[in-house]
Amino acid sequence: MKITSKIKQALEENRSFWSFEYFPPKTDEGVENLFERIQRMSGLKPEFIDVTWGAGGSTSDRTLEICTTAQSYQNLETCMHLTCTNMSKSKIDDALREAKSAGIQNILALRGDPPRNQEYANECETQFRYALDLVRYIRQEYGDYFCIGVAGYPEGLPESDSKEKDLDILKQKVDAGSDFVMSQIFFDPQLFLKFVEDCREIGITVPILPGIMPIQTYTSFRRLTNLCQIEVPTHILEILESIKGDDQAVKEFGVKFCIEMIQALRQGGVNGFHFCTLNLEKSVRLILEGCGFVEKQLTIIDGLAKNEAHLKAPILNDSLEGIILQNESWDEFPNGRWGDSRSPAYGEIDGYGASLKVTVQEALKLWGYPVDKKDISDIFSNYIQGQLKALPWSDEPLFAETDAIREKLADLNSKGFWTVGSQPAVNGVRSNDPVFGWGPKNGYVYQKAFLEFFTSPEELEKILVKFENNPYITFYAQNAKGDFKTNIEVEEPNAVTWGVFPSREIAQPTMIERVSFEAWGDEAFQIWNEWRMIYLPKSPSAKLIQEIADTYYLVNIVHNDFQDSDGIFTLFQ
Ligand code: FAD
């Protein structure tokens, strides 16, 4: 069924409605667990669900798998996101064909990342430069079979010269056959209401759904708002700054704030709410309950959340208890790069997948035109020293905890060990410590030191010899061809961050494990490729980056003696 028919029905019945957005997790286990989560969240009666599409088609298989399963087996009205830049036209055709054959009738037609350097343009780039081209194409090929949605930006698109131009483009997308608009997330309800007013003024009459993102953790919130360049009202930033050391308080504030925002939108006449769930369940449920949209259920999960598991013990069998506790911890802790790879939210804060997250012009300004490996070493060292604001792999400055190892990292980078991830060892620091703290109050947190870096096969051979004589080191290394090295004999997730808190089990939000290392490794090498493509094909910079991407290894080392804060660096002396 078309989303617009469902919206019409809800409006005729004079009731509010909501929908849930999911993204494809990076691992197979994550996808399996997401199916379970989508099923359970269907009990919250979303009008439809939608699934994002990785930049350049990077998640096409998983997006299609999740969409077709949700539509065909989970009986949920599903909308598939589809981008049109930086991938082949056949990928677009396959996606539309598969969606149709699975009975999916809703597509969110998007541009994706800005088109690449013309020299790399394929048939897709010449035909599809903008979302407008995709809307026209879908209408031309499929008539009115699909209900088409497009993106709208209450704050304007960051790359755009003016809000007026964006509105004009939105009108063109609607005139070309789009049936609804889904908005970018925002944190000021008045901005959205003004956006709707402006749209109506220029004759856009289709439904406009507001994008609502519950604040989950301080870090993921800052990262996503920076990535999408969303304005955050000062008073919200101030509150978050004051509670950022207490994850539970941040989540509770996120729920309360969303409820207030939805109330303000309802007063402004808005009836439908689109939740960017980040594949997380609990906050969305609490918001819907808080708005009075669904009945408040004192569920088993509620009980456990308040550490009242013992009250519920009689009705829990062991495996159910295990599943619920696991769901809880997935919702509670970050699910980014080093989260639990089984989590349905694994990859939570990575935006839309492997891309540079900056325009070609910004990329050239940041990283210039490297011609030899020394230039690449300089780029990495400058980033570590805070002189460069982003790397292709990290679009944010380093965390404050890196200060403890910054000089040593800069030294490593200048020697050709180009770090893309690291953490210092921490041996029992209070959980509210301004630098290393996380999790609930009155606890203690611990970390094993780890480093993740690219290096040449020659350097790798030299350090492998050192690892052999050090019983505290575990490592993984892989290159783009899939050659893999490790000294780990029995595969188990290696908890590298853990916390001990009052009245609860030990929490271990950060793990290094082969499956996530491999999933991330593929993406890390794709990013070299994305970087290469900002230069002309036969230029010295493109050749240099190609050579590195083809031959270098991505290496992850954990120093398992967390009491030895320097041990990991002595390996490189
Ligand atoms: P467009 O509508 O094509 O606009 C892009 C820019 O080009 C604008 O500045 C516009 O003014 C300009 N422009 C457009 N048409 C013309 C024209 N004819 N002439 C001149 N200028 C023009 N990204 C993903 O990779 N995967 C996703 O699943 C995804 N989901 C999203 C969901 C929502 C609700 C939103 C808001 C964004 C999503 N994005 C996703 C991000 C999106 O791909 C980016 O924001 C992208 O940069 C712009 O996409 P668009 O469809 O709005 O582009």
3-state secondary structure 520-532: HHHHHHHHHHHHH
pLDDT > 90 fraction of the chain, expressed in percent and rounded: 68
The residue annotated as part of the active site, out of 21, 125, 281, 348, is: 21
CA distances to 143, 313, 430 from 501, in Å: 58, 21, 10
pLDDT > 70? residue 154? yes
pLDDT > 60? residue 27? yes
pTM assigned to the model: 0.88
52 CB within 6 A, ligand 1 = yes
Q: State the Rg of the chain over Cα.
A: 24
**Predicted confidence band at 336 (pLDDT cuts at 50, 70, 90)?**
low
To test ligand 1's pocket by mutation, which of 110, 129, 178 has the most ligand atoms within 8 angstroms of CB?
110
pLDDT > 50? residue 18? yes
Contact between 216 and 284 (Cβ < 8 Å): no
In angstroms, the CA 130 to CA 94 distance is 19
Structure tokens at 19: 């929908």
Regarding beta strands 106-110 and 78-83, do their DSSP bridges make them parallel or antiparallel, or are they unpaired? parallel
Please state the rounded mean pLDDT for residues 160-186: 95
182 CB within 6 A, ligand 1 = yes
Residue 334, pLDDT score: 60
Residue 307, pLDDT score: 34
Question: Model confidence over 28-45: pLDDT tens digits?
Answer: 999 999 999 999 999 999
User: Ligand 1 centroid vs 214 CA: distance in angstroms?
Assistant: 22
CA angle 44, 50, 56 (to 5 degrees): 155
Residue-averaged pLDDT of the chain: 89
Question: Model confidence over 252-285: pLDDT tens digits?
Answer: 999 999 999 999 999 999 999 999 999 999 999 9
Query: In this structure, which residue's CA is closest to atom 30 in ligand 1?
Result: 52
pLDDT > 70? residue 320? no
Residue 328, pLDDT score: 61
DSSP-derived 3-state class of residue 219: helix
To test ligand 1's pocket by mutation, which of 169, 184, 199 has the most ligand atoms within 8 angstroms of CB?
169
Of 372 and 509, more confident: 372
In angstroms, the CA 394 to CA 239 distance is 26
Residue 125, pLDDT score: 67
Structure tokens at 42: 């269907």
230 CB within 6 A, ligand 1 = no
User: Ligand 1 centroid vs 440 CA: distance in angstroms?
Assistant: 39
Structure tokens at 224: 């996503």
pLDDT > 70 fraction of the chain, expressed in percent and rounded: 91
- Write down the residue that tokens 């030990």 correspond to: 506
* Most confident segment among 100-104, 339-343, 532-536: 100-104
CA distances to 200, 204, 293 from 12, in Å: 20, 20, 17
The torsion angles phi and psi of 289, rounded to 5 degrees, stand at: -65, -45
Nearest ligand 1 atom to alpha carbon 114: 47
pLDDT > 70? residue 560? yes
Residue 319, pLDDT score: 44
The verdict on whether 21 is a catalytic residue reads yes
In angstroms, the CA 133 to CA 442 distance is 55
Please state the rounded mean pLDDT for residues 474-481: 96
**Predicted confidence band at 347 (pLDDT cuts at 50, 70, 90)?**
confident
**Predicted confidence band at 314 (pLDDT cuts at 50, 70, 90)?**
very low
Nearest ligand 1 atom to alpha carbon 63: 28
**Predicted confidence band at 311 (pLDDT cuts at 50, 70, 90)?**
very low
pLDDT > 60? residue 316? no
Question: Model confidence over 185-198: pLDDT tens digits?
Answer: 999 999 999 999 99
Residue 329, pLDDT score: 62
In angstroms, the CA 124 to CA 113 distance is 13
**What length is written for the chain?**
573
